[in-house]
A and B are shown apart, each in its own frame.
Chain A
């Protein structure tokens, strides 16, 4: 029996490689599309969180506080909902938005809504790490808000923003696999249907190794580009 158990993981003839490639591609595309969307949404939210915490006076101060409170609350709420529950919770919303609750596209709303608040906090933190004196220097030169955001905030925190995208992207890869169990497609779905449902251990192993490779590549690209851009200590 022991030999059989081991052998069941390496029965490669039982793997449908056409399905493998299709599912791998689905995982990669789901991850990339949602990571890009999360990056954009997260930077916007992070920017709102950061800017509404800046010291202001008068009427603007009250609006800042209100916006900060609302965005903070939303971010905290969505960050604390377990992903698998969020998918289920969002099913009617997903159906209305993309017309289906099955397939990789159907997974996108849940992936994005779950990961964006997570990244937004990282963005806020990255902006907060910028020396306030640098922002003040830009103000003293007569920079407007847009120039400060583009030329100081985003540019100076770029390595941290990229590291954040890497971490978030890897989390999203994990989420895609979870989403797969309820029909989102990709390697998670494949491992669940073929590997678990049809008791094909080899499929489960192949799916696992492939995900590990995808994560490693993602990490490598993220780390290298952050390192390349970071001019603080080299």
Chain B
């Protein structure tokens, strides 16, 4: 269990004090994957660096499985850090060492014997899918392979938690998905708690079960990924969710606008389906129950999240006013999130 309690961090710069994190409370249960999202400068990086004492809070408490990180120093802190794995955006491998030697590095630091180090490194090389690359140098590896080495290295000391600092931001989409699959696999296999920061909502949707949104050093929204995706409350969250759920947002807006001009009396709604609703024939049910209604699909998409699928559909409904008036209550009765974008004049 990880807990941030009233955590604040101020930096003293030439222009005075800057607050990177202010009075933040957040907790993560064992075995969960928490994604912290926010734009650059939101304080995410400072926050996760408090988990292994790379940053110390100005005030507040950081608790990782009972260890009060902020109060640890010297040898005790270094011992604690061995229980926390960390992977980085730019991998941060030692280029002078081969794959196996890089994976053995944290074990050397922990003071393990050579035979044990080799056995553990071999095991991890297989786990992250780098068998056959043991003696390659980082310069001979692709970005995805480098991050696999980074993951293996982070797992070497059997950590209690894994911190991912924009771990996929330097990778292409295909490789990002492969690395995310690997992280998910490790989470399931080792029941490892993972805290990651990212600015890509795609990462959150794909592997996180919880999400926390940060803005200007504050936690503005947090909860289950599915809930936050379904009902984003804050503007910044909506922007993040929209970037992911409707990547073609701009195109959709143009299409919607054109439809409104062509059929000003029509009804345009954005529907959000989740879980089993995505598999139900809700629209055709509506057409059967409400007479004289026609519909026109503007745009639709579906995404898989760790909490189940989320679908969005933009549709235009036309027909007599009394029919259109029944449509929205019907959709609400079916528990579909309905947002009216345009209705008549």
Binding site for B on A (CB under 8 A): 131, 133-134, 136-144, 147, 151-152, 155-156, 158, 229, 231-234
Q: Given that A144-B78, A147-B109, A231-B139 are known contacts, is A139 also in contact with B54, CB under 8 Å in the complex?
A: yes
Q: Are B139 and A140 in contact (CB under 8 A)?
A: no
19 cross-chain CB contacts under 8 A = A134-B94, A136-B92, A139-B54, A139-B81, A140-B54, A140-B81, A140-B86, A141-B105, A141-B109, A142-B81, A147-B109, A151-B105, A151-B109, A155-B94, A156-B94, A158-B96, A231-B96, A233-B139, A234-B140
Which B residues are CB-close (under 8 A) to A138?
Answer: 105, 109
Chain A residue, CB-CB nearest to B74: A144
CA A158 – CA B82 in complex, angstroms? 27
Q: Are A133 and B81 in contact (CB under 8 A)?
A: no
Q: Is B110 an interface residue (CB 8 A)?
A: yes
Q: Are A229 and B96 in contact (CB under 8 A)?
A: yes
Q: Are B109 and A156 in contact (CB under 8 A)?
A: no
Q: Given that A137-B86, A138-B109 are known contacts, is A156 also in contact with B54, CB under 8 Å in the complex?
A: no
Which A residues are CB-close (under 8 A) to B92?
Answer: 131, 133-134, 136-137
CA A46 – CA B41 in complex, angstroms? 34
Q: Are B88 and A133 in contact (CB under 8 A)?
A: yes
CA A136 – CA B153 in complex, angstroms? 14
By the criterion of a CB under 8 Å from any partner CB, how many residues of chain B are at the interface?
Answer: 30
Contacts across chains A and B counted by CB atoms under 8 Å: 70
Q: Which of B52, B90, B109 contacts A143 (CB 8 A)?
A: B109
CA A151 – CA B80 in complex, angstroms? 20
Q: Give the Cβ gap from A150 to chain B, nearest Cβ, in Å.
A: 10
CA A156 – CA B78 in complex, angstroms? 22
Chain B residue, CB-CB nearest to A156: B96
Chain B residue, CB-CB nearest to A144: B78
Which A residues are CB-close (under 8 A) to B153?
Answer: 141
Which A residues are CB-close (under 8 A) to B110?
Answer: 142
Which B residues are CB-close (under 8 A) to A142?
Answer: 77-82, 106, 109-110
Q: Is B34 an interface residue (CB 8 A)?
A: no
Chain B residue, CB-CB nearest to A159: B96
Which B residues are CB-close (under 8 A) to A140?
Answer: 52, 54, 81, 84, 86
Q: Given that A143-B109, A144-B78, A231-B139 are known contacts, is A137 also in contact with B88, CB under 8 Å in the complex?
A: yes
CA A130 – CA B19 in complex, angstroms? 29
Per-position binary interface string of chain B over residues 81-113, scored 1 when its CB falls under 8 Å from any chain A CB and 0 otherwise: 110101010101111110000000110111000
Which B residues are CB-close (under 8 A) to A155?
Answer: 94, 96-97
Q: List B247-291 residues whose CB lies under 8 Å from chain A.
A: none
Q: Is B137 an interface residue (CB 8 A)?
A: yes
CA A134 – CA B105 in complex, angstroms? 12
Chain A residue, CB-CB nearest to B56: A57
Q: Give the Cβ gap from B99 to chain A, nearest Cβ, in Å.
A: 12
Q: Give the Cβ gap from B134 to chain A, nearest Cβ, in Å.
A: 15
CA A143 – CA B109 in complex, angstroms? 6
Q: Which of B77, B80, B90, B137 contacts A231 (CB 8 A)?
A: B137
Q: Give the Cβ gap from B192 to chain A, nearest Cβ, in Å.
A: 16
Which B residues are CB-close (under 8 A) to A234?
Answer: 137, 139-140
Q: Given that A229-B96, A232-B95, A233-B139 are known contacts, is A131 also in contact with B90, CB under 8 Å in the complex?
A: yes
Which of B54, B77, B78, B92 lies at the interface centre, i.e. has the most chain A CB atoms within 10 A of its CB?
A: B92
CA A232 – CA B97 in complex, angstroms? 10
